[in-house]
């Protein structure tokens, strides 16, 4: 059966989000046809391919015979963890803003301290920063608060109270943080708005405070919108890759969006028990795992020497060939990690191609014999 017909005759369920990969399969199917034409000699495939056969494939196709000397190059996905361009911002300092409530205590002067009382909290009885950024304090009147640290506000109040009180001992605290906040949305369990406080809030802490990732979250592609720009942050790079800069401290007004996991898969075709799409979205899967999870090779039809993996690399196509006719080949396959878009094709054995040819010819031969037996 022609290779192109093999691709079109296969029928298996493909998730809707993976349909866009079908165009890639057709393109690789053409390359596969060229590969087989170059590698075939009187109906047999020679493994490994001769240099002459490889050259006939063209400059944009490279055939790589997998063996113990090169398998280490393919034991992890080529896609690494990219460092984020979002400023890390470890030098966090909270600036008071409109809506914050300040608690001001003047030691030994209870008349200058608003009592919270047994039924009132400090947040309820404190000084709220107005829209103009100020608070109104006894004796001294208006005090600028917005855009300043609490130690700056304390120094200002102490300096002005010194006119009325000798050596005032003043303590200023933020009783309620209302001015600065960030938003976490998307694939987290409890999307929410989180106030910023004097304690720095990192991206991971914000996600955890929103209930953590859902099962459908894509931690590699978290976006943080800040000051009109959108930054992409590979949070997985911090969790498993140790990239410290991928866990930045958040700033006022940041909007964190967690996208839904994008379906990514490899395609298992040819002489396997169950041709299918192999889901690579949630875990790394090796070549041997992909084949065994789909029932393994068809023992009577497959050429175990011809397990091929097609992978696009820009304008080039890489063709990996693995000989699984012996246990060492299967062991090598446990180290070869599939990447999204890979097409795995298991070739048909020469004897099976012969049997298929005979089975197609037999009806014609029988019809001819029947016609010859009819008397004139």
Q: pLDDT digits over 221-251, tens only? A: 999 999 999 999 999 888 877 778 888 999 9
Q: What is the pLDDT of residue 367?
A: 57
Q: What are the residues whose beta carbons fall under 8 Å from the beta carbon of 244, sequence distance 6 or more?
A: 88, 238
Q: What is the pLDDT of residue 1?
A: 42
Task: Tell me yes or no: is domain 181-258 CATH 3.40.50.920.
Answer: no
- Indicate if the pLDDT at residue 60 is higher than 90: no
Nearest C-alpha neighbor of 319 from the set 73, 133, 36, 62: 62
- Indicate if the pLDDT at residue 9 is higher than 50: no
Task: Tell me yes or no: is domain 3-80+265-350 CATH 3.30.70.1400.
Answer: no
Region for 45 from its dihedrals, namely left if φ exceeds 0, alpha if ψ lies in -120 to 50, beta otherwise: beta
- Indicate if the pLDDT at residue 197 is higher than 60: yes
6-10, 38-42, 57-61, 337-341 — which is least confidently predicted?
6-10
Residue 43's pLDDT band, with cuts at 50, 70 and 90, is very low
Q: What are the residues whose beta carbons fall under 8 Å from the beta carbon of 312, sequence distance 6 or more?
A: 24, 28, 318, 341
* pLDDT averaged over every residue in the chain: 80
Q: Contact at 8 Å (CB) between 338 and 278?
A: yes
Q: Contact at 8 Å (CB) between 290 and 338?
A: yes
Answer yes or no: same fold for 3-80+265-350 and 101-176: no
148: β partners:
none
Token readout for 80 is 């690494």
Q: What is the pLDDT of residue 305?
A: 87
All structural domains of the chain with their residue ranges:
3-80+265-350, 101-176, 181-258
- Indicate if the pLDDT at residue 4 is higher than 50: no
The tens digit of pLDDT for each residue in 350-367 reads: 655 545 555 555 565 455
- Match 């393109």 to its residue by tokens: 27
Q: What is the pLDDT of residue 204?
A: 94
Q: What is the pLDDT of residue 338?
A: 93
- Indicate if the pLDDT at residue 150 is higher than 60: yes
Q: What is the CATH number of domain 101-176?
A: 3.30.1950.10
Strands 265-270 and 229-233, by their bridges, are unpaired
The tens digit of pLDDT for each residue in 73-83 reads: 888 765 667 78
């Amino acid at each position: 059966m022609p290779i192109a017909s093999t691709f079109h005759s296969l029928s298996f369920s493909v998730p809707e989000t993976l349909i866009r990969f079908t165009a890639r399969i057709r393109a690789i199917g053409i390359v596969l046809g060229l590969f087989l034409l170059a590698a075939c000699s009187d109906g047999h495939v020679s493994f490994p391919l001769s240099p002459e056969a490889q050259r006939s494939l063209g400059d944009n196709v490279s055939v790589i015979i997998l063996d113990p000397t090169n398998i280490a190059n393919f034991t992890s996905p080529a896609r690494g963890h990219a460092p984020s361009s979002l400023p890390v911002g470890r030098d966090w300092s909270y600036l008071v803003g409109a809506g914050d409530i300040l608690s001001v205590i003047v030691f030994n002067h209870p008349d200058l301290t608003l009592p919270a009382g047994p039924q009132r909290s400090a947040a309820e009885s404190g000084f709220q920063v107005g829209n103009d950024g100020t608070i109104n304090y006894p004796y001294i009147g208006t005090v600028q608060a917005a855009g300043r640290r609490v130690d700056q506000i304390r120094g200002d109040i102490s300096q002005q109270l010194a006119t009325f009180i000798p050596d005032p001992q003043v303590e200023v605290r933020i009783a309620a943080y209302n001015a600065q906040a960030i938003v976490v949305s998307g694939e987290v369990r409890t999307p929410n708005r989180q106030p910023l406080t004097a304690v720095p809030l990192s991206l991971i802490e914000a996600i955890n405070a929103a209930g953590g990732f859902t099962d459908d979250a894509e931690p590699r592609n978290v976006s943080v919108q800040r000051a009109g720009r959108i930054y992409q942050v590979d949070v997985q790079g911090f969790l498993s890759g140790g990239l410290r800069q991928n866990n930045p401290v958040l700033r006022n007004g940041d909007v964190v969006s967690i996208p839904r996991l994008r379906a990514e898969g490899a395609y298992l075709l040819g002489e396997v028990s169950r041709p299918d799409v192999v889901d690579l979205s949630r875990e790394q899967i090796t070549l041997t795992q992909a084949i065994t999870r789909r029932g393994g090779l068809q023992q009577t039809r497959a050429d175990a020497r011809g397990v091929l993996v097609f992978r696009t690399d820009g304008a080039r196509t890489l063709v990996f060939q693995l000989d699984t006719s012996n246990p060492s080949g299967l062991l090598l396959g446990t180290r070869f990690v599939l990447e999204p878009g890979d097409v795995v094709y298991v070739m048909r054995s020469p004897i099976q191609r012969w049997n298929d040819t005979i089975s197609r010819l037999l009806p014609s031969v029988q019809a001819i014999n029947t016609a010859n037996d009819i008397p004139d």
